Chains A and B, each alone.
Chain A
């Protein structure tokens, strides 16, 4: 059974940093692109970042470029999102998602809440 479990969310002040993790199981992690998607309170879904199987390609939504870094550790079956220079508008539930060979988000974790507030 595919499982994705996010962790690392919490309350952080504007300008601060946070690192999210996503532990994957039930599939060959190193064979899949992975993605982060976020959802602000009461709002819709927004794709944040993608990373290729070997980490050699990474893509970001414009609003987080230069502030967020997606990475992975295939030996640990883990995906990460390093978030720096956080802003109030980054407040959201952050989901990790598995991306299949057509770039479809076929499995999602339950999410972790990030709150940026003073």
Chain B
């Protein structure tokens, strides 16, 4: 069974800084089936990235995804105030699985 481990658990940054979030899989994951979601308190998750690197509709280009195999990264180039949230990676497909999440908080 695949396990997705996200790190760090919490990232403390200031607006304007660059955020780099990691998602590591215990076994190789097809990059075609790796997604990232953003969740703010009291809200549903919002799809950001699919296929490891494709931005969903309406997602600003400061969000980018990369990686393959067992190591994937979500990068936010310059943090805006609305970007402080929890981010989850997900393997989708026949056996959906989520990582434990990374909280990006204001420093």
Q: How far is the CA of A55 from the CA of B100 in the complex (A)?
A: 30
Q: Does B26 have its Cβ within 8 Å of any Cβ on chain A?
A: no
Q: Does A78 have its Cβ within 8 Å of any Cβ on chain B?
A: no
Contacts of A59 in B (CB 8 A): 94
Interface string of A73-85 (1 = CB under 8 A from B): 0000000000000
B44 touches A103 (CB 8 A): no
Contacts of B45 in A (CB 8 A): 45, 95, 105, 108
A45 touches B98 (CB 8 A): yes
Nearest to B45 among chain A residues (CB) is A108
Shortest distance between the CB of A113 and any CB in chain B (Å): 11
Nearest to A35 among chain B residues (CB) is B96
Q: Does A63 have its Cβ within 8 Å of any Cβ on chain B?
A: no
Which chain A residues in 18-49 approach chain B with CB under 8 Å? 35, 37, 44-47
**Residue of B47, B50, B96 contacting most chain A CB atoms (<10 Å):** B96
A44 touches B99 (CB 8 A): yes
A47 touches B44 (CB 8 A): no
Known interface pairs A102-B33, A103-B33; 15 further A-B residue pairs with C-beta atoms within 8 A, sorted by A's residue number: A44-B99, A45-B98, A47-B96, A50-B96, A59-B94, A102-B51, A103-B92, A103-B94, A103-B96, A104-B33, A104-B47, A105-B35, A105-B37, A106-B47, A110-B43
* 28 interchain pairs, CB-CB under 8 A: A37-B96, A44-B88, A44-B99, A44-B101, A45-B39, A45-B45, A45-B98, A45-B101, A47-B96, A59-B94, A95-B45, A102-B32, A102-B33, A102-B51, A102-B92, A103-B33, A103-B94, A104-B47, A104-B92, A105-B35, A105-B90, A105-B96, A106-B50, A107-B47, A108-B46, A109-B44, A110-B44, A111-B44
